[in-house]
Structure 1
Amino acid sequence: MTVHFIGAGPGAADLITVRGQRILAAAPVCLYAGSLVPRELLEVCPPDARLVDTADLNLDQIITELVKATAAGQDVARLHSGDPSVFSAVAEQMRRLDEAGVPYEVVPGVPAFAAAAASLAREFTVPEVAQTVILTRTAERATAMPPGENLATLGASRATMVLHLAVQRIEAVVAELVPNYGEACPVAVVARASREDEQIVRGTLADIAPKVREAGIKRTAVIVVGAALTASQFPDSHLYSADRCRP
């Protein structure tokens, strides 16, 4: 029996992958993060499936549920919001399952930063403007950041930066980024990307903090910083250039 870590996507129920939906529709047990995963996804589960909301469970309790189900000969769909590869707390679950000898697989999902880019109708890598995307967060009320991964260091490249789990301390984020990016640097905050109640706030590092406070955005949001957000004067990509495509 297998535990399937499934990326549920950023919020819209129809952004789960076909593979993820297929596994979910067949799994007799589903563990999901109730505060983040849309309830509509659970409608795909078998009518008699055991549904476990992990919002109030600690790691030990979650692992107990996973091990118990597989010991009973049941596959498990473990639904995580976004994509399991970033900020998903999947690593420690996989480590525990390795120790318990429980097999698992990972099914990727649409990450929040990709959903935000779609909502903004922007490419985060623009020729000769930005070719790097930094995905990071801050340490406020969360696990400490490793040495060298502070915003001042990461921002030195002026690459497109996407911050998760940081909107509650937007003023501090701005203060740390201004020295590298400048107050005129464009910023967008996307809350609940892809959902019906999605919110988008645009501005610059000079004015984004009060705009976010006025909009009442406090969680489930990403902050996107960088020149790619408003770039309009840039060369065409070499990918489709006439020279490259010439017979």
Structure 2
Amino acid sequence: MTVYFIGAGPGAADLITVRGLRILQQAPVCVYAGSLIPRELLDACPADARLVDSAELTLDQIIEKLSCGKERDVARLHSGDPSIFSAVAEQMRRLDELGVPYEIVPGVPAFAAAAASLKRELTVPGVAQTVVLTRTSARATPMPQGEDLMTLGASRATMVLHLAVQRIDAVVGELLPNYGADCPVAVVACASRDDEVVLRGTLESIAGQVQEAGIKRTAVIVVGQALAASGFLDSHLYSAERDRACGAS
């Protein structure tokens, strides 16, 4: 028996990986993350597969579902990619204690889908070469010391905030001192889905736009000059002056 933690992608059913879909099509049990998983993916499971919605389950109950059938593989379907803000770490820790084998199948993260919708590269030559992926605490687990927005924003790197749109006013207040009121900002809700909403503005204007649009969840906030960069240098990657000899870096 193996538990497969599968990243289902940001919302559109066809953004799951080929590997993830193949495992899903063969798994006799699928434990999925509630309304965040498109129905089309659940329909890809075998007709007689057992489907378990984990939205209202505790961690102990989820582990029980993942480990109850020792002879059967289980697909554990998460939205986005398991590597960030997925609560996979504590599930793997419990499975380690139980001696249950598992594998991770990566997926398209929400921030990548948001960048695609914005038609923007988050790392632009001479403008931004670092992306900070973070969130705010609010009612969730407290942030570790030194990971507050004021500290993280000191570099003025491209910043992507998950699970933070419901605190947009506070987010703006914490980012203003480092980024400035005219810094470009975008909010992408339900990235890649049919009901996707894209807002573009500045730190000065974005909170009002979010409130007017009624966006309260399933959204990422992207902040930084990369969103509006135009007169930047071409990448060295394709430069005619670059040494293209075999093995050259």
Fold match (TM-score > 0.5) = yes
1:239 corresponds to: 237
Alignment of 1:73-84 (within 5 A): 73-84=71-82
Alignment of 1:40-59 (within 5 A): 40-59=40-59
1:152 corresponds to: 150
Percent identity, please: 78
Among 97, 100, 106, which residue is 2:98 paired with? 100
After superposition, what is the alpha-carbon deviation per residue over 1:190-220, rounded to whole angstroms, capped at 9, x for unaligned? 0000000000000000010000100111100
**Could you tell me which amino acid in structure 2 is paired with residue 170 of structure 1?**
I
**Could you tell me which amino acid in structure 2 is paired with residue 31 of structure 1?**
V
3-state SS, counterpart of residue 168 of structure 2: helix
After superposition, what is the alpha-carbon deviation per residue over 1:5-47, rounded to whole angstroms, capped at 9, x for unaligned? 0000000000000000000000000000112111110111000
1:21 corresponds to: 21
**Could you tell me which amino acid in structure 2 is paired with residue 95 of structure 1?**
R
3-state SS, counterpart of residue 244 of structure 1: coil
2:10 corresponds to: 10
What is the RMSD computed on CA atoms of the aligned residues?
Answer: 0.8
Asked if residue 181 in structure 1 is aligned to residue 179 in structure 2, the reply is yes
1:130 corresponds to: 128
Deviation at 1:246, TM superposition (A): 6.4
Asked if residue 140 in structure 1 is aligned to residue 143 in structure 2, the reply is no
**Could you tell me which amino acid in structure 2 is paired with residue 134 of structure 1?**
V
CA distance in 2, matches of 1:216, 1:199: 10
Moved over 3 A (4+): none
CA distance in 2, matches of 1:88, 1:246: 40
3-state SS, counterpart of residue 133 of structure 2: strand
CA distance in 2, matches of 1:115, 1:6: 17
Q: Specify every segment of 5 or more residues in structure 1 that has no aligned partner in the other structure, as ranges.
A: none
Q: Specify every segment of 5 or more residues in structure 2 that has no aligned partner in the other structure, as ranges.
A: none
CA distance in 2, matches of 1:179, 1:90: 34
**Could you tell me which amino acid in structure 2 is paired with residue 27 of structure 1?**
A
3-state SS, counterpart of residue 10 of structure 2: coil
**Could you tell me which amino acid in structure 1 is paired with residue 58 of structure 2?**
N
**Could you tell me which amino acid in structure 2 is paired with residue 196 of structure 1?**
D
Between Structure 1 and Structure 2, how many residues are aligned? 245
Q: 1:32 to 1:246 in 2, by over 3 A?
A: closer
3-state SS, counterpart of residue 242 of structure 1: coil
**Could you tell me which amino acid in structure 2 is paired with residue 142 of structure 1?**
A
1:67 corresponds to: 67
CA distance in 1, matches of 2:53, 2:37: 10
Asked if residue 222 in structure 1 is aligned to residue 234 in structure 2, the reply is no
CA distance in 2, matches of 1:28, 1:245: 52
**Could you tell me which amino acid in structure 1 is paired with residue 242 of structure 2?**
R
